[in-house]
Amino acid sequence: MTDLPRFRAAAAPALSAPSRRSVLAGALGAAALAAGRPVRAAEPGLLRVGYQKYGTLVLLKGKGLLEQRLKPLGYRVAWAEFPSGPPLLEALNAGAIDLGSAGEAPPIFAQAASADLRYVANEPPAPLGEAILVPRDSKVQSVADLRGRTIALNKGSNVHFLLVRALAEAGVPYEAVNLAWLSPADAGAAFARGAVDAWVIWDPFLASAERSTGARTLVTGQGLAPNRQFYLSTRSATETHRDAIEAALTAIGEIDAWAKDNTDAVAAELAPSVGIPAPVLTVALRRLAYGVTPLDPATVADQQRVADTFHALGLLPKPLRVADAVWTPARNG
């Protein structure tokens, strides 16, 4: 797994407070443009998998287990790395990949941009794996104190929903905070130098910031956001690659079962590629939940609440029904 680039913080761009309209345009614009272009059809005999540099799919890639499981089916595998869930789902909607994973919010925006999105499986909730951080010496003591402050987060990511829920619970209007849309690398740099007042982030960047900056946690996802990881595909890919996707989910389950009982080994394996020390990764890995399964009614209901929340805020152009995008082996696409 040494072929993956190391994590480096980049300089943060100028910060601003986008309006609801600009949030919607940013979250849906690229995906909608991709959906408006001719979509590449799934290619027989090739499963294209999108992954982020931390998580089960990275381990699957590093161990070559997916290739082993798919070779008897006459498949080869092509891998593509993405910095976060939103661009991965943009690529999925555009037909550039067939399978990938992301947190709660990106699939909502992706489904709003394309009815072809399919949820194929999910991991159990891991609410402690995301949080709102503030600097150690910050005067901010609660979420209510974030009113009028500048908060960094990745646009349309899983932590977007966490922030919305946390603000609502604290009685702070969504419009009462300034949102700085930054990638984890840029947000980490801005947070470290004090250019933002708070940072909403997920593991392993969360564990890294806690260790390197002494950041304080205002809230985690506990009681606010489940922080599930979803495995996602498209109608075309589930039709063309049904057997391959089922085999991939089986392989993911095997990796999960190993990783659950070998967090130190997983951390040592991921550290060179992620660029975060193994002891820090171990903290993050112990906050994960393992065990890939089809979406059950409770999971669909939780995800529907995410969709309804974003629609109520005006961040989705129309209501959507999550259940329409749930795929199972018994369904034809």
Residue 35 pLDDT level (bands cut at 50, 70, 90): very low
- For residue 62, what pLDDT is reported? 87
Does one domain contain both 155 and 80?
A: no
- 100, pLDDT greater than 60: yes
Does one domain contain both 261 and 112?
A: yes
Would 332 be classed as within a structural domain? no
Does one domain contain both 58 and 205?
A: no
Does one domain contain both 74 and 159?
A: no
Would 13 be classed as within a structural domain? no
Structural domain containing residue 93: 20-126+228-325
- For residue 42, what pLDDT is reported? 65
Does one domain contain both 104 and 251?
A: yes
Whole-angstrom distance, CA of residue 241 vs CA of residue 257:
24
Does one domain contain both 215 and 302?
A: no
CATH code of the domain in which 210 resides: 3.40.190.10
- 137, pLDDT greater than 80: yes
- For residue 34, what pLDDT is reported? 39
Does one domain contain both 251 and 103?
A: yes
- 242, pLDDT greater than 90: yes
Does one domain contain both 311 and 214?
A: no
Does one domain contain both 233 and 287?
A: yes
Looking at every residue in the chain, the average pLDDT score rounds to 86
By CB atoms closer than 10 A (0-12, 13-18, 19+), residue 330 is exposed
Residue 83 pLDDT level (bands cut at 50, 70, 90): confident
pLDDT, tens digit (0-9, with 9 covering 90-100), for 45-81: 999 999 988 888 988 998 899 999 999 999 999 999 9
User: Token pair for residue 138?
Assistant: 């910050």
Total domains present in the chain: 2
Whole-angstrom distance, CA of residue 245 vs CA of residue 234:
11
Would 7 be classed as within a structural domain? no
pLDDT, tens digit (0-9, with 9 covering 90-100), for 138-162: 999 999 999 999 999 988 888 999 9
Tell me the whole-structure pTM to 2 decimals. Answer: 0.83
- For residue 84, what pLDDT is reported? 85
Does one domain contain both 142 and 95?
A: no
pLDDT, tens digit (0-9, with 9 covering 90-100), for 248-260: 999 999 999 999 9
- For residue 41, what pLDDT is reported? 59
Contact 273, 51 (CB under 8 A): no
Does one domain contain both 197 and 293?
A: no
Would 93 be classed as within a structural domain? yes
- 186, pLDDT greater than 60: yes
Report, as an integer, the average pLDDT of 4-22. Answer: 33
- 287, pLDDT greater than 90: yes
N-term to C-term CA, the chain: 33
Does one domain contain both 241 and 121?
A: yes
Angle 242-260/263-274 helices, nearest 10 degrees? 110
Which residues touch 197 (CB under 8 Å, ≥6 apart)?
Answer: 134, 138, 140, 146, 149, 150, 151
- For residue 8, what pLDDT is reported? 27
Would 12 be classed as within a structural domain? no
Q: Which of 63-72, 98-107, 264-273 has the lowest mean pLDDT?
A: 264-273
Residue 116 pLDDT level (bands cut at 50, 70, 90): very high
Which domain-ending residue is among 220, 240, 273?
Answer: 220
- For residue 37, what pLDDT is reported? 44
Would 9 be classed as within a structural domain? no
